[in-house]
């Protein structure tokens, strides 16, 4: 039941409570009243699920230029160089600030402890509690946000659309999930930092809140989206029947983990000279090829050369989660398969988070800054959220300055949310065969089978036809689940369209009918706007 509609006012609104949204909100709080909307608990974001760590050139043996080059190499010719330069140069400043705000990264004695991951030329990955880095960063940012009186954190408020007046974003609409009532918030500027869209695929490491809402509502409002064909699949998600696709961090391979097929043969040497430490798009395709070759649903990740003490200390969350499914990583090989993990594309922005719509900004996984190119370098995502979240906040203050702090009128503040993120992604909430649940299952199956790791023109065309022909259930007062379904359907269509238009293989986008990179035609970013065809622009 939809109750009476209310309009509220804030100077700035941020949608999303992950690293990008919180960092932007803290920045904005220096200039005005800030409202942060989260559709679930405040701590339930992709940030909190990030195990691997955060990459930054702070160690004695590292250089900013090396981090820059590693990022560009992983991006397979499509990184925006100026965005990468900003990421690696400003990263150390913002990481140091995080530490000053109470973030407790792992240390070796008194010094920060750095580890190495695939495609990094140096040990530059900071961790917290071994494999709970994102959770610790989220905890520290939320703790700081709670100390700022005019920074209002609102949980269980699902954003359904943007308010556009005279070509400018003037606010947004949201549903209060406690009673399904619909409301509006008016603001000088809006930031979208809602994370990714992993739930568009049948197999994903993402939390169930990752339904691409920010990208979808920006597209609906007329903003340009970019690089939607580039979805990164993590090579190693736990493949235990009945278990969610819990991510087994890249750091496991960084610490010597070996991939073996079901015949227990180490196979990566056939695919890349870096073997297990090759970029994750190469590893994911190699695993899929090996699964096809051996008619198996998984391969094995072998950590048995490491001691139980080492694994418990270095990977406490991963070790305990595997144990809960009867796997002792010190003695047993873990069955793994690839799963959708990260979206390189999203709402196109400049280097300050500005989108093509005045008054609208975006940061984090929702945004396409060009920093990741065609394939994100491991552990760069938390850093991107931190750096570009802060920059977006700065731009919003500069572009829409508040001369006098407004009196913020908002619904009652919920109690602070404890940071109790579960160990792995919840299984999809499809308990009954409702029309919406069936449509959602159909979208996920189409995307996994035809718009996944290995693609072809025929499969992409088939997927597009099926998605366009799909009739979504229409309800008079759509709730959060209904809106999520609409959002996922719209984005699935855009990913398939973008994949069909890019007739080459690059980074995470692999076309079996166009298996080679084509710099002459496609060394460009795809862009799409509602009602228009896919374009390619430098």
- Assess contact for 13 and 129: CB atoms under 8 A: no
Hey, what are 334's tokens?
Answer: 């873990």
Structure tokens at 285: 């395709």
Q: Which residue has the tokens 């946000």?
A: 145
- Look up 280 and say whether it is catalytic: yes
Q: Tokens for 192, please give them.
A: 């979208």
Classified as helix, coil or strand, 11 is coil
Q: How far apart are CA 508 and CA 504, in angstroms?
A: 11
Distance CA(346)–CA(501), nearest Å, equals 16
E strands, 179-255, are 181-186, 189-192, 225-226, 231-238
Instruction: Say if residues 442 and 470 touch (Cβ distance below 8 Å).
Output: yes
- Candidates 80, 280, 285, 354; catalytic one: 280
Question: Which residues, other chains included, contact 260 with Cβ-Cβ below 8 Å and sequence gap of 6+?
Answer: 266, 267, 299, 300, 302, 333
Asked if 493 contacts 501 with a C-beta cutoff of 8 angstroms, the reply is no
If DSSP codes are grouped into helix, strand and coil, which group holds residue 521?
helix
DSSP label of 537: E
Other CB atoms within a 10 A radius of the CB of residue 474 amount to: 8
Number of neighbours of residue 306 by Cβ within 10 angstroms = 17
Token couple for 299: 């391969």
SS3 275: helix
Tokens 């198996």, residue located:
296
Describe the chain by its helix, strand, coil percentages, rounded to 5: 35, 20, 45
Phi, psi at residue 260, to the nearest 5°?
Answer: -130, 145
Q: Where are the alpha helices (DSSP H) in 172-279?
A: 213-221, 250-254
**C-alpha 433 chain-centroid distance:** 29
Contact 339, 205 (CB under 8 A): yes
Q: How far apart are the first and last CA of the chain?
A: 48
What phi and psi values does residue 206 have, to the nearest 5 degrees? Answer: -75, 155
| Phi, psi dihedrals of residue 332, rounded to the nearest 5° | -115, 145
Burial class (CB in 10 A: 0-12, 13-18, 19+), 51: buried
Give me the DSSP letters along 334-355. EEEEEEEEEES-EEE--TTSB-
Indicate the DSSP class of residue 455. Answer: B
Instruction: Report the distance separating Cα 136 and Cα 102, nearest Å.
Output: 9
Q: Per DSSP, what are the bridge partners of residue 174?
A: 159, 183
Name the residues annotated as catalytic: 280
């Amino acid at each position: 039941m939809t109750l009476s509609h209310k309009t509220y006012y804030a100077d700035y609104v941020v949608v999303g409570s992950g690293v990008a949204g919180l960092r932007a909100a803290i920045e904005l709080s220096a200039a005005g009243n800030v409202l942060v909307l989260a559709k679930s608990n405040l701590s339930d974001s992709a940030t909190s699920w990030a195990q691997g760590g955060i990459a930054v050139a702070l160690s004695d043996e590292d250089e900013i230029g090396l981090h820059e080059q590693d990022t560009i190499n992983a991006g397979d010719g499509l990184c925006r160089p100026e965005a990468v330069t900003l990421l690696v140069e400003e990263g150390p400043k913002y990481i140091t600030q995080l530490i000053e705000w109470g973030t407790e990264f792992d240390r070796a004695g008194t010094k920060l402890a750095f580890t190495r991951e695939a495609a990094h030329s140096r040990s530059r990955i900071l961790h917290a509690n071994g494999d709970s880095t994102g959770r610790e960063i989220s905890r520290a940012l939320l703790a700081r946000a709670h100390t700022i009186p005019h920074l209002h954190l609102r949980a269980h408020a699902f954003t359904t659309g943007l308010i556009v007046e005279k070509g400018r974003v003037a606010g947004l609409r949201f549903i209060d999930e406690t009673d399904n009532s619909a409301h509006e918030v008016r603001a000088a500027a809006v930031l979208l930092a809602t994370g990714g869209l992993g739930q568009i695929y049948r197999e994903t490491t993402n939390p169930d809140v990752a339904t691409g809402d920010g990208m979808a509502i920006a597209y609906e409002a007329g903003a340009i989206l970019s690089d939607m064909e580039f979805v990164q699949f993590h090579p190693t998600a736990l493949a235990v029947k009945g278990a969610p696709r819990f991510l087994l961090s890249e750091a496991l391979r960084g610490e010597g983990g070996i991939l073996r097929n079901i015949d227990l043969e180490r196979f990566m040497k056939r695919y890349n000279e870096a073997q297990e430490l090759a970029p994750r798009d190469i590893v994911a395709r190699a695993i899929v090829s090996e699964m096809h070759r051996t008619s198996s649903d998984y391969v094995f990740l072998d950590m048995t050369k490491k001691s139980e003490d080492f694994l418990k200390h270095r990977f406490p969350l991963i070790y305990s989660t595997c144990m809960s499914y009867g796997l002792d990583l010190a003695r047993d090989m873990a069955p793994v398969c690839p799963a959708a993990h990260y979206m390189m594309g999203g709402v196109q922005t400049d280097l300050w988070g500005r989108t093509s719509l005045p008054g609208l900004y975006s940061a984090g996984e929702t945004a396409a800054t060009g920093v990741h190119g065609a394939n994100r370098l491991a552990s760069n995502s938390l850093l991107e959220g931190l750096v570009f979240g802060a920059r977006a906040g700065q731009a919003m203050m500069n572009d829409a300055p508040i001369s006098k702090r407004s009196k913020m009128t908002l619904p009652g503040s919920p109690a602070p949310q404890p940071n109790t993120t579960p160990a792995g992604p919840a299984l999809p909430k499809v308990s009954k065969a409702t029309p919406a649940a069936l449509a959602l299952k159909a979208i996920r199956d189409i995307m996994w089978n035809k718009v996944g790791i290995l693609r072809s023109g025929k499969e992409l065309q088939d997927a597009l036809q099926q998605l366009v022909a799909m009739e979504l259930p229409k309800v008079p007062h759509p709730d959060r689940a209904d809106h999520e379904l609409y959002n996922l359907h719209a984005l699935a269509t855009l990913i398939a369209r973008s994949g069909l238009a890019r007739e080459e293989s690059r980074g995470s986008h692999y076309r079996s009918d166009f298996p080679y990179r084509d710099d002459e035609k496609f060394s460009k970013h795809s862009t799409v706007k509602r009602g228009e065809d896919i374009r390619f622009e430098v």
